[in-house]
Structure 1
Amino acid sequence: MKTFSRLRVLTLATGLMLTAACTAQPGPAKPAPYTEGSEYVTLPAPNQRLSDDGKVEVVEIFSYGCVHCAHFAPMADKLRKELPAGVTFKLLPAPFSAEWLPYARAYYAAKQLGVVERTHQALFDAKFKQNYPINSLDDLADFYARQGVDRAEFLRIANSDAATAAMKSDLDLIRQWQVDSTPTIVVDGKYRITGVKTQEEMADVALWLAKRELAARK
């Protein structure tokens, strides 16, 4: 009887172990929340990056002359703060028209002067909320002077050959990325976000793609 009981207990235990092993198998993978061709596209010539710092980059193509970029700016800042270590957020001004050239030059000057972080949102607010007439490079120089920037130095950098060269180089990259509107986000020189319904969704897709690209590197 004791031998029979031991065999029965062993049989039951083995059955339970097999059942547990079966139930521990992973279920079907969850579908990706965003799909190629719907919320984003893969660029035809991938790996055309803005920089070579080795990090996954999330690049917003924008203009200070674009009211939609002004609306997106707080969401872009939130996205920047949510990006994991190993991912960097960058701005890229789009000189799509003669009217937008001064804004691109202003960004290059502000970047060289190290004031972008504290003036980026303020410039959008001054133009679109406070309705300052900020259209020309002189208008922009006045704005930056109110922010404590040396006006003459700002104009010198904005009109420099270096700013012109940077603008041409960046415009070539924007064309390679096939960007024709702002704001647009390109992730790691590989993916352009398109077809989203809201700016909030654009930020969500950017975060998802950046995390996926970072995981793929690891």
Structure 2
Amino acid sequence: MARPLRRRFCTALLGLAEAAVALPAAAEPQDGVDYLTLPARLPTDTGRKVEVIEFFAYYCPHCYAFEPVLNAWVRRQGDNIVFKRVHVARDAGVAPQQRLFFTLEAMGLLEQYHDKVFDAMHVERLRLNSDEQVFDWAEKNGIERAKFVDTYRSFGIQQRLRRADAMMDAYHIDRWPVVAIGGRYLTSPSHAGAYANEARTEAQQQEVALKVMDYLVAKAKQ
């Protein structure tokens, strides 16, 4: 029997800030306030390095806005972490974008094309909500169409999609962007920034989230 569909949505960053009670910006991040702790630590495969996973979607404007500051944070962390991304599922309109992400990943092209997909959607306003649109985009950007299509439709990509869905369930992901740290902690710009006095713009919320992420990486290393 098919599992009932769960409502999933892109985090509304600014609305949550107005609804929250402000806490001192300098206070140590608090569990249940600035981040959430899962009931049990999920397995990771990164050895002594801390696993950091971003759950995101290409269509999501807040994911797009978070991308440059998140990338800079990942670079600053260096060897402290192993950074991964998981493109979330939502509905049939998002499925081609999710398949696009995992196809690029499987082909070893993600680093080269990840930002280009974001720009295609948010600058060029391409919808990329059908397989053919994705195939046309890939070919236009210099990827061999036949090879891309074969990978896109492969059993291996189907397995990656199932694993992404399982990870969303395991981490209780129902909004995005969300960052999971050490298999145990969850935070996001909307979550961490909602409780800080100074965080009233999206950029400010992002900066607060990065501070919380620093704290959680250190906590996970302990």
The alignment status of 1:158 with 2:165, answered yes or no, reads: no
Distance 1:43 1:76 in 2: 22
Distance 2:138 2:41 in 1: 36
- Amino acid of the structure 2 residue aligned with 1:83: Q
Higher helix share: 1
C-alpha distance after superposition, 1:145-168 (max 9, x if no partner): 232211121121111111111111
The alignment status of 1:76 with 2:61, answered yes or no, reads: no
Identity percentage over the alignment?
A: 26
Residue 144 of structure 1, CA deviation? 2.1
C-alpha distance after superposition, 1:95-124 (max 9, x if no partner): 122221111111111011111112111111
1:2-151 maps to which residues of 2 (within 5 A)? 33-49=28-44, 52-54=45-47, 55-151=49-145
Pick the structure with greater CA Rg: 1
Distance 1:71 1:154 in 2: 28
Higher RCO by CA contacts (8 Å cutoff, separation 6 or greater)? 2
Distance 2:142 2:210 in 1: 32
Equivalent position of 1:15 in the other structure: none
The alignment status of 1:199 with 2:210, answered yes or no, reads: no
- What is the SS of the residue equivalent to 2:79? coil
Task: Tell me, yes or no, if the aligned pair for 1:58 and 1:88 is still in contact at 8 Å.
Answer: yes
Any stretches of 5+ residues in structure 2 without a counterpart? 1-25, 194-204
Greater mean deviation of Cα atoms: 170-179 or 191-200: 191-200
The alignment status of 1:209 with 2:216, answered yes or no, reads: yes
Residue 32 of structure 1, CA deviation? 6.2
Residue 94 of structure 1, CA deviation? 0.4
Distance 2:128 2:164 in 1: 23
Task: Tell me, yes or no, if the aligned pair for 1:39 and 1:196 is still in contact at 8 Å.
Answer: yes
Task: Tell me, yes or no, if the aligned pair for 2:96 and 2:128 is still in contact at 8 Å.
Answer: no
Any stretches of 5+ residues in structure 1 without a counterpart? 1-30
Equivalent position of 1:7 in the other structure: none
- Equivalences, count: 183
Distance 1:46 1:58 in 2: 13
- What is the SS of the residue equivalent to 2:192? coil
Distance 1:128 1:141 in 2: 18
Task: Tell me, yes or no, if the aligned pair for 2:97 and 2:128 is still in contact at 8 Å.
Answer: no
- What is the SS of the residue equivalent to 1:59? strand
TM-score when normalising by structure 2: 0.76
Distance 2:116 2:39 in 1: 36
TM-score when normalising by structure 1: 0.78
CA RMSD of aligned residues (A): 1.7
Distance 1:32 1:190 in 2: 21
